[in-house]
Amino acid sequence: MRRPDPLPSIDEIRGRLAERGITHVGVTSADVLADTRAELLRRRAEGLHGDMGFTYRDPERSTDPTRAVAGARSVIVAAKPYLTEGDPPEPPAGSGPHASVGRYAWVDHYAPLRAALRDVSRQIRRADHRAVAFADDNSIVDRAVAHRAGLGWYGKNANLLLPGAGSWFVLGSIITTAPYDPTPGPAPDGCGSCVRCIDDCPTGAIIAPGVIDANRCLSWVLQKPGSIPAEYRAAIGDRIYGCDDCQDACPISVRLGGRNSIDLDPGADAWVDAIELLDADDDWIDNRYGHWYIADRDLRWVRRNALIVVGNVADPADGRARAVVERYRAHIDPILAEHADWAVARLDERVDA
């Protein structure tokens, strides 16, 4: 009969995760996140979730760690930075319309975080405890457990802000039956009277401190299936996936974020050639951008976004851009045809501007 391995201490876990670029680790209990559950239910009832699923789909489940791991006693929470020391160069002038990608999606930062947490989970299981790693998963509200574990405080843009580091992190956790002492939390508020994130949101999606109307948030608008409301299309600008404006405006994230940064991955995709994407087939798009969240894995939503970008940023005299949007105006998909119509009208409007 195999004898269990010793249960790793939190300090040992911190050291092991630090070797994988994970800079912040905390612990909280597996108690129900009652306040978070009530808030999710309230915002869903008010329609602020914008039909988003994820942790809104089943708040009773996503706020109860024991629903993810029966008998859970502890949640180990980890944050991995993704702010880079340097940024990729912007596309050269005259290279055609390019779309910008939110910093967190330049590469898949969740994959190495998930792999590191799974390694630790296996170590805990060898000590005869259950342990399951979660990252970017609707099983648990990651910001809520990270907040309760003392990693940081909620900024007015609803992101978790880590002391001395800001919000340029991806979060993950290990839910386990192993008994670990909780770390002190939550962290004290560090925002004070600052409202720069609220002021700089391009669509006014931050309707109260810490409260986001997902219907207006461009990060969700660009992921949500269906037709993008006309009133947000110009505000999308050159974005194809993600929006960093509220983080870029945050003094905590901008001034102090560099204390926890990483080298730029040589495969980082910060810019997308919108014409190349609109000319590409599904396999090409999926191979290149498959780590993005795309509703139902339906790549029409990426093409929809690219059409808006062409309308917003292409040179109205660019014959290649004009030819692509004209081709999409005749597309069998009515949503793509509609957005192509808008792109043509937007190009014409910009000629007269």
Is the pLDDT confidence value at 250 over 60?
Answer: yes
Is the pLDDT confidence value at 80 over 60?
Answer: yes
Active site residues: 136
| pLDDT recorded at residue 139 | 86
pLDDT digits (tens, 9 = 90+) for 196-216: 999 999 999 999 999 999 899
The alpha-helical segments, DSSP class H, found in 154-226 are 196-200, 218-221
| pLDDT recorded at residue 47 | 81
Q: What is the mean pLDDT of the chain?
A: 92
Q: Rounded to whole angstroms, how far apart are CA atoms 87 and 108?
A: 16
Q: Tell me if the pTM is above 0.85.
A: yes
| pLDDT recorded at residue 323 | 96
Take residue 99 and report the two structure tokens written for it: 């779309």
Residues 6+ apart with CB under 8 A from 262: 21, 81, 82, 83, 84, 85
Is the pLDDT confidence value at 22 over 90?
Answer: yes
| pLDDT recorded at residue 43 | 85
Ramachandran assignment for 267, one of left (phi > 0), alpha (psi -120 to 50 degrees), beta (any other): alpha
- To the nearest 10 degrees (0 to 180), the angle between helices 319-329 and 334-352 is 140
Pairing mode of beta strands 169-176, 131-135: antiparallel
| pLDDT recorded at residue 76 | 98
pLDDT digits (tens, 9 = 90+) for 127-176: 999 999 999 888 899 999 999 999 999 999 999 999 877 899 999 999 99
| pLDDT recorded at residue 209 | 93
pLDDT digits (tens, 9 = 90+) for 165-180: 789 999 999 999 999 9
| pLDDT recorded at residue 40 | 84
Q: Rounded to whole angstroms, how far apart are CA atoms 17 and 11?
A: 10
Residue recorded with tokens 């024991």: 66
Q: What are phi and psi of 208, to 5 degrees?
A: -165, 160
Q: Rounded to whole angstroms, how far apart are CA atoms 155 and 163?
A: 11
- Whether 48 and 226 have beta carbons less than 8 Å apart is answered as no
